[in-house]
């Protein structure tokens, strides 16, 4: 059985702008309605605000972890998902390893099990740092 880290940092309260019952432990964005969140459907357009930690229907309270340790869904891409790997937001709300230093910004680190199967999604520990102000910012 996996052990998940807890840091005591509370989730931030939002309202689900849409049905998020299948999006638990995935990235969310600010919705166009103030105070609402929605599914992250692009890696950084707009930039995700955090990980949804519950599974609300539209109009229900949504708990979003914006910084610190949480559970999250991630998967391999061209790189293995290794302990300590830097993560970026994928176009469908999952987290993926940062392949190379480029214009993409790492928004988390993976502290879950090693995953080598491409496109196999797993639930594991991540350390979120949702501070990036936008995409296309140099990592140097």
Is residue 69 within 8 Å of residue 16, measured between CB atoms? no
pTM of structure: 0.86
Q: What angle do CA 19, 25, 30 make, to 5 degrees?
A: 55
Give per-10-residue mean pLDDT for the chain (140 aa): 74 97 95 94 73 97 96 86 89 86 80 80 89 46
Phi/psi of residue 65, nearest 5 degrees? -85, 120
Q: What is the pLDDT of residue 102?
A: 63
pLDDT at 62: 98
Contact 39, 23 (CB under 8 A): yes
């Amino acid at each position: 059985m996996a052990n998940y880290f807890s840091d005591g940092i509370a989730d931030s309260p939002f309202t689900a702008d849409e049905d998020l019952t299948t999006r638990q432990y995935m990235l969310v964005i600010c919705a166009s309605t103030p105070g609402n969140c929605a599914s992250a459907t692009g890696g950084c357009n707009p930039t995700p605000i955090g990980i949804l930690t519950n599974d609300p229907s539209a109009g229900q309270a949504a708990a979003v972890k914006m910084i610190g340790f949480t559970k999250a869904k991630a998967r391999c891409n061209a790189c293995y998902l290794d302990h300590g790997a830097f993560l970026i937001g994928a176009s469908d709300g999952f987290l993926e390893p940062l392949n190379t230093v480029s214009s993409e910004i790492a928004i988390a680190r993976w502290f879950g099990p090693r995953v080598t199967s491409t496109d196999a999604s797993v639930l594991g520990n991540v350390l979120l740092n949702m501070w990036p102000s936008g995409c296309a910012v140099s990592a140097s």
